Amino acid sequence: MPDPTNNQKQFSITRDPRISARVALPTLSTIISTLIIAFLIYAFVSGLSFQFYASFLFLFYGITKTMWVSVMLLGLFQTLLMIPFRIIRVVKTNNIKEFQRTVERLEDEEKQGFTLKTRFREGNVTFLFYAVDFVMQLVSYVSIGRLFLTDFYSRALNPAVLYDWVPYPAYPIRDIFFKIPYPQVTESVDLGWKVVIPVWIVLVAVQMIILIARRSIRSQHGQATEKQLFTGEWTRYTSGYLLFFMGLAYFLVRHFPLHWQLSIFSGDVSIPNRTFNTVTAIATFLVLVYHGIPRILRKGRLAHSLGIDQKVIDTTQKEMFKDTLFSATLIGLGAFYITNHIPSAFELSIFTLEVISLAAPFTLDRLVLKGINVTRSSEDNKEDVIHEFGSGQLPAEKSGEESPPPSTEVKVKAEQPETSQKNPENKS
């Protein structure tokens, strides 16, 4: 008769290796990413990153002999350094968003921490890039801010800070007053409320005509025909944008420009500049809104192509627009507060980055997407849209088309994140 005690010991002996085998060792990509992050932190703490940006700033100064131009060249140089990260971010944008959504779905902070540690240890490429990119940008911009907080204008710079091949600047530092051209309205006229009221009436009338036309077409020809006629550019005339157009019309009518001239905005880069701080904050707000609104419109068109109900699309787009305005306002106010305590050289460098970023969607991003043959309506983006707009409600009326296939597609894709969410919990 077999001894049950021996069987129990045999069972416990075979189980130990199996448990230890489940403890995954860090992958090569994890080790490399850890070393990169550790080096970036060490570079910031030890002053290597400060020396790096200071050396290139004074290298540009040695060439141009103009400090404010050198500051702008440093902003351009920083943009060129971040191009590889920008390219990878554009290519991996959907994977990064999926990773962010996975973490956001876990309400428990312990589960979020477990997911982060698991992704890091297992060498998840998306997470590793996200971590390295974040640390890289943090170290870069904090180092640049630290550089411009240094008073090297009136006090001689320590030669040990610069690389050996960078020429030491001759004091005093030359041309510290920046000069930025801008169009200035020299004469304007207030057309008064007698023009404001009719313009508002026209805007409201256009809104009412669109609403009446949509309801009439929906009742006579069905919801499918309505969607075909009132999509794309028509979505910007919904009630969510009416107040914006009314406010813009009020400003233009009360300050209607008559004459323009090209003026020069100037200031000292060695001290804070309240006017330039305000310009930088407004530019930050406009850049974020500029990049946010086209993305909202693209997602709305894709949501329509997936068969999501138009009311759901309109409501979700309004919420996304409000979130974009709130985030842009918050970041703009934060930029205004921070730059009030930093010499305007930092703002001039950031302002250069913002101007370049305005052209990014039409230059670098378009080339990257064209080169890798990626479109905004890819399957990954469909999942992203379903996450934003929900599972959606397909219209009951379809002219000559069967509704089950798209409805099944939307529901299946909407349920996938929930099943993927349960897997880490089961493994844990």
- What would the pLDDT profile of 103-121 be if each residue is shown by its tens digit? 455 455 555 455 545 555 4
Same domain assignment for residues 339 and 307: yes
What pLDDT, on the 0 to 100 scale, is given for residue 60?
Answer: 93
Helix locations, 255-273, DSSP H: none
| Overall number of domains in the chain | 3
pLDDT digits (tens, 9 = 90+) for 220-249: 766 666 565 555 444 444 555 677 788 888
Q: Cβ distance 235 to 210 under 8 Å? A: no
Same domain assignment for residues 288 and 208: no
What pLDDT, on the 0 to 100 scale, is given for residue 55?
Answer: 92
Q: Cβ distance 36 to 23 under 8 Å? A: no
Q: What's the rounded mean pLDDT across residues 71-89?
A: 82
Range of the domain at 356: 270-428
Q: Is residue 143 part of a domain?
A: yes
Same domain assignment for residues 138 and 227: no
Q: Is residue 360 part of a domain?
A: yes
Q: Is 256 helix (H, G, I), strand (E, B) or coil?
A: strand
The strand pair at 256-268 and 177-189 is best described as antiparallel
What span, in angstroms and rounded, lies between the C-alpha atoms of 4 and 12? Answer: 13
Q: Is residue 1 part of a domain?
A: no
Same domain assignment for residues 250 and 285: no
pLDDT at 164 over 80: yes
Residue 257 phi/psi, 5-degree rounding, is -75, 140
Q: Cβ distance 376 to 298 under 8 Å? A: yes
Q: What's the rounded mean pLDDT across residues 373-402?
A: 50
What pLDDT, on the 0 to 100 scale, is given for residue 13?
Answer: 44
Q: Cβ distance 197 to 267 under 8 Å? A: no
Which tokens sit at 21? 């085998």
Same domain assignment for residues 222 and 326: no
Same domain assignment for residues 132 and 246: no
Q: What angle do CA 255, 259, 265 make, to 5 degrees?
A: 90
Q: Is residue 14 part of a domain?
A: no
Confidence band for 53, pLDDT divided at 50, 70 and 90: very high
Chain centroid to Cα 319, Å, comes to 17
What span, in angstroms and rounded, lies between the C-alpha atoms of 110 and 105? Answer: 13
pLDDT at 62 over 50: yes
Same domain assignment for residues 204 and 312: no
CA quadruple 394, 399, 401, 407: dihedral, nearest 10: 0
What pLDDT, on the 0 to 100 scale, is given for residue 11?
Answer: 46
Residue 177 phi/psi, 5-degree rounding, is -95, 115
Please say which residue of 113, 148, 175 terminates a domain: 175
Q: Cβ distance 378 to 212 under 8 Å? A: no
Q: Is residue 182 part of a domain?
A: no
Same domain assignment for residues 214 and 302: no
Same domain assignment for residues 393 and 428: yes
Q: Check residues 382 and 72 and name the one with the higher pLDDT.
A: 72
Question: How far is the CA of 197 from the CAs of 193, 236, 249, 252, 409, in angstroms?
Answer: 6, 22, 10, 13, 48
Confidence band for 255, pLDDT divided at 50, 70 and 90: confident
Helix locations, 181-273, DSSP H: 193-221, 223-229, 242-254
Same domain assignment for residues 105 and 226: no
Cross-strand partners of 256 = 189
Q: Is residue 228 part of a domain?
A: yes
Same domain assignment for residues 113 and 163: yes
What span, in angstroms and rounded, lies between the C-alpha atoms of 382 and 425? Answer: 26
When the pLDDT of each residue in the chain is averaged and rounded to a whole number, the result is: 72
Q: Is residue 185 part of a domain?
A: no
Q: Based on C-alpha coordinates, what's the Rg of the chain? A: 28
Range in 54-63, 133-142, 231-240 with the lowest mean pLDDT: 231-240
Q: What angle do CA 386, 392, 393 make, to 5 degrees?
A: 160
Same domain assignment for residues 141 and 242: no
What pLDDT, on the 0 to 100 scale, is given for residue 48?
Answer: 92
Q: Is residue 263 part of a domain?
A: no
Length of the chain: 428
Please say which residue of 254, 278, 293 terminates a domain: 254
Question: How far is the CA of 220 from the CAs of 173, 242, 317, in angstroms?
Answer: 74, 27, 26
Question: How far is the CA of 342 from the CAs of 79, 178, 276, 406, in angstroms?
Answer: 21, 16, 11, 54
